[in-house]
């Protein structure tokens, strides 16, 4: 039997430290709160705002993803035209930073549905098998992966089989997007096998997948008699 450990991690991007240099602009950045959005044709928008300083570098995010940056206009009054999805709602963020600052992180919440799976390598292993179980909504998991009372997990399924690599640690991004609407418990386990078919002892580890909620839909209807439009947001 093999002696192995299994742990799950979610990747978190941390900016590198910025050394204190005399010519570095250390003024704090800010999220611009005077953004004006206007339609520009059928598939574009005009985003305009006023920065506090002409030297500010602007970073524009669409639905949590960086689309423009750094944007340096040389003036406080700024605007840019962006293509946007025509059939979905979206969020726009504009961040102003100074000097050679690192790229800011978006305020938009990111889903936690593709964890990084990592475990200690086994010297005699010829392959590793990664298994996943999703638990029914309302059931839970406690501790290092033991299901809570009343939890009824689905049948365990094999996610992927991977060959051994050099080094003391193995890592792989989850090969599927986990079900995480309204939050769902999953469990993972990694099994190592040698050339004789012997399989390692292993334990399950719980992971709580949380996906973003379904965005609201903007519905526009027109009254044929009055000619008036009706706007309704459905969540």
Token pair of 17, please?
A: 């430290």
pLDDT at residue 39 greater than cutoff 90: no
Domain-by-domain residue ranges, the chain?
6-13+111-209, 30-97
pLDDT at residue 77, rounded to an integer: 92
Give per-residue burial for 217-232: e unless 16+ CB within 10 Å, then b: eeeeeeeeeeeeeeee
pLDDT at residue 48, rounded to an integer: 92
pLDDT at residue 145, rounded to an integer: 40
pLDDT at residue 138, rounded to an integer: 53
- Residue, of 157 and 25, whose pLDDT is higher: 157
- Residue, of 10 and 187, whose pLDDT is higher: 187
Question: pLDDT digits over 181-226, tens only?
Answer: 777 888 899 999 999 888 887 778 888 887 766 667 778 888 888 8
Is CATH 3.40.220.10 the classification given to domain 30-97? no
Question: pLDDT digits over 81-101, tens only?
Answer: 988 876 677 888 888 887 765
pTM confidence score: 0.47
Q: Which of 28-32, 113-117, 174-178 has the lowest mean pLDDT?
A: 28-32
Tokens 């990592």 belong to 118
Q: Which of 8-17, 51-60, 150-159 has the highest mean pLDDT?
A: 51-60
Question: pLDDT digits over 143-175, tens only?
Answer: 444 333 334 557 788 999 999 988 888 888 888
pLDDT at residue 6 greater than cutoff 60: no
Distances in Å between the Cα of 136 and the Cα atoms of 139, 161, 179 are 6, 25, 11
3-state SS of the chain?
Answer: CCCCCEEEECCCCCCCCCCCCCCCCCCCCEECCCCEEEECCCCEEEEEEECCCCCCEEEEEECCEEEEEEECCCCCEEEEEEECCCCCCCCEEEEEECCCCCCCCCCCCCCECCCEEEEECCCCCCEEEEEEEEECCCCCEECCCEECCCCCECCCEEEEEECCCCCCEEEEECCCCCCCCCCEEEEEEEEEECCCCCECCCCCEEEEEECCCCCCEEEEEECCCCCCEEEEEEC
In percent, the amount of the chain with pLDDT more than 90 equals 11
- Residue, of 32 and 89, whose pLDDT is higher: 32
CATH superfamily of this structure's domain 6-13+111-209: Immunoglobulins (2.60.40.10)
Q: Is 6-13+111-209's fold the same as 30-97's?
A: yes
pLDDT at residue 126 greater than cutoff 90: yes
Could you give the CA distance from residue 72 to residue 233 in angstroms, rounded to a whole number? 36
């Amino acid at each position: 039997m093999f002696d192995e450990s299994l742990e799950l991690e979610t990747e978190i991007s941390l900016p590198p430290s910025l050394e204190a240099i005399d010519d570095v602009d250390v003024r704090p950045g800010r999220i611009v709160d005077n953004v004006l959005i206007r339609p520009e044709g059928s598939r574009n928008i005009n985003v305009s705002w006023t920065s506090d300083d002409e030297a500010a570098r602007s970073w524009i995010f669409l639905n949590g993803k960086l689309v423009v940056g750094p944007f340096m206009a040389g003036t406080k009054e700024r605007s840019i035209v962006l293509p946007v999805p025509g059939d979905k709602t979206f969020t726009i963020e504009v961040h102003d930073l100074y000097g050679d600052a690192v790229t800011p992180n978006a305020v938009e919440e990111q889903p936690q549905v593709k964890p990084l799976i990592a475990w200690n390598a086994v010297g005699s292993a010829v392959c590793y098998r990664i298994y996943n179980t999703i638990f029914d909504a309302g059931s839970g998991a406690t501790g290092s992966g033991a299901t809570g009372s009343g939890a009824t997990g689905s049948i365990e399924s094999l996610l992927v089989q991977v060959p051994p690599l050099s080094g003391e640690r193995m890592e792989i991004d989850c090969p599927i997007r986990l079900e995480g609407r309204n939050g769902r418990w999953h469990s993972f386990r990694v099994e190592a096998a040698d050339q004789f078919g012997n399989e390692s002892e292993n334990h399950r580890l719980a992971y709580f997948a949380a996906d973003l909620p379904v965005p609201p839909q903007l519905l526009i209807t027109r009254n044929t008699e009055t000619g008036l439009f009706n706007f309704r947001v459905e969540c």
